[in-house]
C-alpha cells in the first residue's frame, strides 16, 4: 500500500487532478516540439511512479518519518497526492499529443485558447480540495470503525484500520489522541497477543489449548486461518465452546447464515451437556448472537423468537431493553412500549435511556399515530430509584 493512497483515494485524486493536468499540458504542448513533449511526457510519468515507489519502500522499511518531508512539507499528503496526480496527467497528455499529433494537438490548442485564470484557479481548487475532503471523511469513518473494533477486542482489524489512517493522514487525531499514539498502543497489544500465541504448544496437547490458539488468531484478524486451524482438531471443534467461537468468527466476517448455524449448534450442545442453561452465560451469549445474526440476515421472526427465548431464560432488564429496541426497529410500537415498561420495572436505573426511546417511539413511527388518536397519551412510569434490583 502506498502512503497517502488507497485505491479509492488514488482514483479520487486522479479524477480531480485530470482537468488541471490537461490544462497545464495544453499550454505546454504548443510551446515545445513533439520529440521534447514525448521525452517530457514519459519523464513526468516515470517521475511520479518513482516517487510513489520510494515512499512505499520507506513505509515498508519502517523509515517513513525519516524518509519524507512528506508529513511536514506536503501537509499530511494532500499536496503530495495532487502534485503526483498532476505530473502523471501532464506526462500522459504530452506523450499522447506527441504520438497522435494530428488529432490531439488542435484540440489542446483550442483548450489553451479557451482557458483563462479563473479556469485554472477552479481546476486547482478542485484538485487540492476535493481529495482532501474525501480523505477527511474517510478517516473519520475509519476512526469510528476503529473504536468499534477495538471495543470488540478485534485487535488485528483495529490495527489495520489505524494503519490505513496513518498512511492517509499521519497528522490525524481523534478525541484528543493522535493516530501515531493510538497505533503505537494497538501495535503493542498486537505484539503481546502474538507473543502469547507463539508460546502455546503446537500441536496443542488438549482441546482448551486448541481453542485458545483459535481465539488468538481470531483476535489478530486471521479469521480464515482460525477456522481452518480449529477444524484440524475434532476433539476441540465439537464442543459448545468451539461452536460459540466459530459463530463469533462468522459474525465478525458478516457470514450471518453460518453464524446462525453455529449459534444454534452451541445451544444444542449446551442442552445435551445437561448444563443448567438458564444460568449459563454461554447459553445467553448463544441466544443473543442468534437473534442479532437472524436480524442481520432479515429473519425477523427468527430473531424475535431468539430474543423472547433469551428473556424467558434470563428475565433481566438489559434483555427487556434489547427486545424494546428490536420492536422499535421493526416499528412494532406497542410491543416496544410494553418492553420499555418491563425494563424500567426490572431496573429503574435504565429510566433515562428508556424515556429517550419512549419519546422516539411516540414521535417517529407511523405506528404511533394510533397513540395520538387516543384521548390520553400513554406515559412511561419510572419507579423510584430506591426500588432498583441489582
Question: What are the pLDDT digits (tens) for 115-130?
Answer: 778 888 898 898 888 9
pLDDT at 257: 96
CB-CB contact of 26 with 98 (8 Å):
no
**Each residue's pLDDT tens digit, 51-104:** 766 665 555 444 444 333 344 334 456 677 788 888 888 888 888 877 776 666
> 23-27, 34-38, 266-270, 386-390: which range is least confident on average?
386-390
pLDDT at 62: 47
213: pLDDT strictly greater than 90: yes
CB-CB contact of 110 with 44 (8 Å):
no
286: pLDDT strictly greater than 90: yes
Report residue 376's pLDDT band, with 50, 70 and 90 as the boundaries.
very low
Q: Backbone phi, then psi, for 77, in 5-degree steps? A: 100, -15
C-alpha cell at 216: 488468538
Residue 333 CB neighbour total at 10 angstroms? 20
Of 60-64, 102-106, 231-235, 364-368, highest mean pLDDT:
231-235
Q: How far apart are CA 87 and CA 43, in angstroms?
A: 9
Longest Cα separation, the chain? 89
Question: Domain map of the chain by residue range?
Answer: 7-182, 315-382
pLDDT at 303: 95
pLDDT at 277: 57
Mean pLDDT across the stretch 226-244? 90
pLDDT at 94: 83
Mean pLDDT across the stretch 350-357? 82
Q: How far apart are CA 247 and CA 264, in angstroms?
A: 9
Beta-carbon contacts of 381 under 8 Å, excluding residues fewer than 6 positions away, are: 341, 344
pLDDT at 247: 95
CB-CB contact of 157 with 54 (8 Å):
no
- The alpha helices in 152-255, defined as continuous H runs, are 155-168, 179-199, 207-219, 223-231, 234-237, 240-252
Mean pLDDT across the stretch 227-253? 91
Q: What is the mean pLDDT of the chain?
A: 81
CA atoms within 13 A on the CB side of 302: 17
Say which residue, 49 or 19, is predicted with more confidence.
Answer: 19
Report residue 185's pLDDT band, with 50, 70 and 90 as the boundaries.
very high
Q: Are strands 177-178 and 173-174 parallel, antiparallel or unpaired?
A: antiparallel
212: pLDDT strictly greater than 90: yes
Composition of the chain by helix, strand, coil, percent to 5:
80, 0, 20
- The alpha helices in 61-154, defined as continuous H runs, are 64-67, 70-73, 78-99, 101-114, 117-151
pLDDT at 197: 93
Beta-carbon contacts of 57 under 8 Å, excluding residues fewer than 6 positions away, are: none
Percent pLDDT > 70 in the chain is 80
Mean pLDDT across the stretch 160-179? 87
Residue 379: left (phi > 0), alpha (psi -120 to 50), or beta? beta
Q: How far apart are CA 206 and CA 235, in angstroms?
A: 9
pLDDT at 2: 52
345: pLDDT strictly greater than 70: yes
pLDDT at 235: 84
Q: Which helix (H) or strand (E) holds 349?
A: none
Q: How far apart are CA 78 and CA 83, in angstroms?
A: 9
139: pLDDT strictly greater than 60: yes
pLDDT at 359: 83
pLDDT at 195: 94
pTM value > 0.75: no
pLDDT at 260: 97
Report residue 344's pLDDT band, with 50, 70 and 90 as the boundaries.
confident
pLDDT at 111: 74
Residue 337: name the closest of 349, 329, 328 by CA: 328
CB-CB contact of 174 with 143 (8 Å):
yes
pLDDT at 77: 66
Q: CA dihedral defined by 108, 111, 113, 117, rounded to 10 degrees? A: -130
pLDDT at 374: 39
pLDDT at 209: 92
C-alpha cell at 389: 434490583
Q: Which helix (H) or strand (E) holds 279?
A: none
CB-CB contact of 173 with 143 (8 Å):
no
370: pLDDT strictly greater than 60: no
Q: Measuring CA to CA, how many Å separate 283 from each of 267, 274, 294, 303, 368?
A: 6, 12, 17, 15, 35
Mean pLDDT across the stretch 208-233? 93
Q: How far apart are CA 302 and CA 319, in angstroms?
A: 16
Amino acid at each position: 500500500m502506498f502512503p497517502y493512497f488507497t485505491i479509492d483515494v488514488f482514483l479520487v485524486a486522479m479524477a480531480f487532478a485530470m482537468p488541471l493536468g490537461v490544462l497545464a499540458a495544453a499550454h505546454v504542448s504548443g510551446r515545445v516540439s513533439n520529440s521534447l513533449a514525448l521525452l517530457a511526457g514519459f519523464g513526468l510519468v516515470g517521475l511520479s511512479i518513482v516517487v510513489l515507489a520510494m515512499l512505499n519502500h520507506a513505509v515498508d522499511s519502517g523509515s517513513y518519518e525519516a524518509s519524507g518531508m512528506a508529513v511536514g512539507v506536503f501537509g499530511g499528503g494532500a499536496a503530495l497526492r495532487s502534485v503526483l496526480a498532476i505530473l502523471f496527467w501532464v506526462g500522459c497528455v504530452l506523450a499522447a499529443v506527441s504520438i497522435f499529433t494530428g488529432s490531439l494537438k488542435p484540440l489542446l490548442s483550442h483548450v489553451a485558447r479557451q482557458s483563462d485564470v479563473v479556469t485554472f484557479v477552479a481546476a486547482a481548487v478542485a484538485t487540492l480540495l476535493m481529495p482532501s475532503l474525501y480523505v477527511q471523511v474517510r478517516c473519520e469513518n475509519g476512526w469510528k470503525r476503529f473504536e468499534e473494533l477495538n471495543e470488540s477486542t478485534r485487535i488485528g482489524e483495529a490495527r489495520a484500520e489505524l494503519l490505513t489512517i496513518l498512511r492517509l493522514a499521519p497528522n490525524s487525531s481523534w478525541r484528543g489522541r493522535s493516530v501515531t499514539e493510538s497505533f503505537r498502543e494497538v501495535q503493542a497489544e498486537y505484539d503481546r497477543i502474538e507473543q502469547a500465541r507463539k508460546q502455546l504448544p503446537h500441536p496443542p496437547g488438549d482441546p482448551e489449548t486448541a481453542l485458545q490458539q483459535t481465539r488468538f488468531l481470531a483476535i489478530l484478524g486471521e479469521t480464515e486461518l482460525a477456522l481452518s486451524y480449529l477444524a484440524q482438531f475434532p476433539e476441540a471443534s465439537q464442543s459448545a465452546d468451539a461452536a460459540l467461537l466459530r459463530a463469533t468468527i462468522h459474525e465478525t466476517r458478516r457470514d450471518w447464515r453460518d453464524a446462525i448455524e453455529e449459534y444454534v449448534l452451541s445451544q444444542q450442545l449446551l442442552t445435551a451437556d445437561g448444563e443448567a442453561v438458564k444460568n449459563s452465560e454461554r447459553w445467553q451469549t448463544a441466544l443473543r448472537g442468534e437473534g442479532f445474526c437472524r436480524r442481520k440476515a432479515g429473519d425477523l421472526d427468527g430473531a424475535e423468537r431468539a430474543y423472547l427465548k433469551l428473556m424467558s431464560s434470563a428475565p433481566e432488564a438489559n434483555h427487556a431493553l434489547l427486545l424494546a429496541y428490536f420492536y422499535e426497529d421493526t416499528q412494532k410500537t406497542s410491543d416496544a412500549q410494553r418492553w420499555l415498561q418491563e425494563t424500567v420495572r426490572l431496573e429503574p436505573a435504565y429510566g433515562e435511556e428508556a424515556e429517550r426511546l419512549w419519546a422516539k417511539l411516540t414521535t417517529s413511527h407511523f405506528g404511533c399515530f394510533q397513540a395520538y388518536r387516543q384521548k390520553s397519551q400513554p406515559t412511561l412510569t419510572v419507579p423510584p430509584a430506591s426500588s432498583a434490583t441489582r
